[in-house]
Structure 1
Amino acid sequence: MDLVKETQRSVYATVGAAAWVMEAVRAIPDQMGQAWERRSQWMDRAGEAYDDLAGRGQAIMGGARQEVQDRVGQVGEAARRIPGVALAEEKMTGMVVDADQLPIADYDSLTVGEIVQKLRALSQRELQMVEGYERRQRARATVLHRIDELLAKSPRSAATT
């Protein structure tokens, strides 16, 4: 009898194991779907975290860039207080400025008379820009002479001479 009971028990165990395997196999699609959903949620979270980090980095870099620009401006202002630096800066600016950066629109298309008329309204820095550009491009004596006259009349010119 023990043999019969052991045989029955083995059969039942085999059927039970087969049932367990079948249940596990039937659950695989649901488990895969749940796993895929969890993966998607993790990917979304990772993407959000990445975006957050990128945003923080961008804010830091933007702040740093602004801080550098502010510091450069402060250094430039301090340097311009040193006698002669502002004048040298203006002369250098004029030597590298392009026509579209000049304070007189369409400069290259204007006549000497039109340019001379517009010079009086310019600041000393703008006069230096025009002077450097004019010397580099056409070196017209009338324009350069008028710029020299206006620069000579400036309070800074009087203080530096």
Structure 2
Amino acid sequence: MKDKVIALILIIIMLLNFFDVLTDISLGVPFWHIFSESFIVIVSGLGALLLIRDINTRTLNTVKLTQDLAFSDDKLRNVSAEMKNARDEYRRVIQQQFEQWKLTPSEQEVAMLLLKGLSLKEVSAVRNTKEKTVRQQASVIYSKANIEGRHELAAWFLGDFIG
């Protein structure tokens, strides 16, 4: 949202300066003044264009990530009944552990996405939150679980299976 506001401000600056340049040309203002205001028009237009392009790229990446997650969930639905039961039981065990650690619902969601292998940036995109917020939540999760980081979090749940 903040990026869109900045892009809008840059477009407004560009348009206002553009009309000012047109007015200055009709008034016969010195060339150096017209050149400097034209430069502002070009720079603010390019800045807005680059920012809009970046917003679109990030939006497309988020949509793709969301689709990939949905696709993964669909693939998991096609697993045999026995595997589904095992997965559901494992999910319950994970959920119980999250409750023992006294994780909030949002911390549980972050922890589950981390266990699925998503990066902090990907978790923030999926949850539509700031990466800094996800980092703080992950830090709280690790503290409550008395572990050092995401690798220990995964190892905590996989250790019993590996032996």
Same fold (TM over 0.5): no
TM-score normalised to structure 1 length:
0.40
Q: Which has the larger radius of gyration?
A: 1
TM-score normalised to structure 2 length:
0.39
